[in-house]
Amino acid sequence: MPNAHMARTFFRILKGCQNLASTPSKYPQPFTSSVVRTIVGMPFPFSFKPRDFSQPNSSWSEEMMRLYDYYNSQCEVETESGEKQRGPWRRLPSYNRTLKYAKGGAYLSKFIQSKNRLFTRSIKTAGAAFEYVVFLNKEEQRTVCIFQAGYLLEGPPGHVHGGAIATMIDSVSGTHAAYISGPLMTANLNIDYRSPIPLGSTVLIESTLDKREGRKTFISCKVTSTDGSKLHTEAKVLFLSINVSHLLGV
């Protein structure tokens, strides 16, 4: 099949580029980078457009869509004169983000990056696991995440696993802290579970900035029902600012 042949050829080219990137003495770096950039710029079927997972899909419940529409409407407001201007909230795009650099500094194509996946965005079936969107309010120093838990996140029968809740708290508060303090890592996460979350339900995860001390950023987080009547989980999180080069191995 021609497509299978093209795919095998493409893989061989990619493998060759990785070998070039790991052999600094044989070829100058500009040559290696230019080859990989050429592959990145190749047209379909070798182009991979990133998908924003914070956009609505068919699995979202009516309640999740209602809240999404509400906060999204606060991202842009209309003045008395009828002009549009930025509102207090900002929707944060969410991608299946991955490694971008290999040892030797060669930029990796989207195809190679796809082998390294942010695991909350790694489930292909819509609605099966983590469905969420995060909105940031810089003035109030807080974020709101609309979260819908799928059937793959089951812990106690019919309810969300505590580890999945911890994952979402870490992700939401970490996203919030990163917008305040730049690159960082979770140093401490303390969670109090108050009441279980039914699978398939929609909840709100809200984070607020407590304080900053040097490299330390302190965030409070809570998980509630969408009407705020039930508290599911509370947490305190400490993040430490880091040098991002440590993660990239450069």
Place 35 in a pLDDT band, splitting at 50, 70 and 90. very low
Whole-number Cα distances in Å, 236 to 160, 229, 233:
20, 21, 11
Decide if pLDDT at 88 tops 60: yes
What's the pLDDT at 132? 98
Architecture of domain 50-101+117-248: Roll (3.10)
Interacting residues of 203 by C-beta distance below 8 A, sequence separation 6+: 147, 149, 197, 223, 224, 225, 226, 232
Residue ranges covered by each domain of the chain:
1-47, 50-101+117-248
- Joined tokens for residue 52: 């924003």
Active-site residue identified among 69, 170, 192, 210: 170
Q: What is the pLDDT of residues 182-236, one digit of tens each?
A: 989 999 999 999 999 999 999 999 999 999 999 999 999 999 999 999 999 999 9
Long-range contacts of 150-154 (CB under 8 A, 24+ apart): 150/59, 150/123, 150/199, 150/200, 151/199, 151/200, 152/123, 152/128, 153/129, 153/199, 154/199
Average pLDDT over residues 59-87: 89
What is the chain's mean pLDDT, rounded? 80
Q: What share of the chain is helix, strand, coil (3-state, %, to 5)?
A: 30, 30, 40
CB-based contacts of 105, cutoff 8 Å, min separation 6? 21, 29, 33, 250
* Alpha-carbon distances of 14 from 23, 71, 190, 235, rounded to whole Å: 14, 42, 43, 44
- Are the C-beta atoms of 101 and 246 separated by less than 8 Å? no
8 versus 179: which is more confidently predicted?
179
Burial label for 196, CB within 10 Å (0-12, 13-18, 19+), is middle
Q: Which pTM value belongs to this model?
A: 0.74
What pLDDT is recorded for position 40? 41
pLDDT value for 36: 40
pLDDT of residue 15: 54
Region 80-84: what's the mean pLDDT?
Answer: 75
Q: Which residue, among 98, 97, 113, has the nearest Cα to 36 in the 3D structure? A: 113
Q: Is 170 tagged catalytic? A: yes
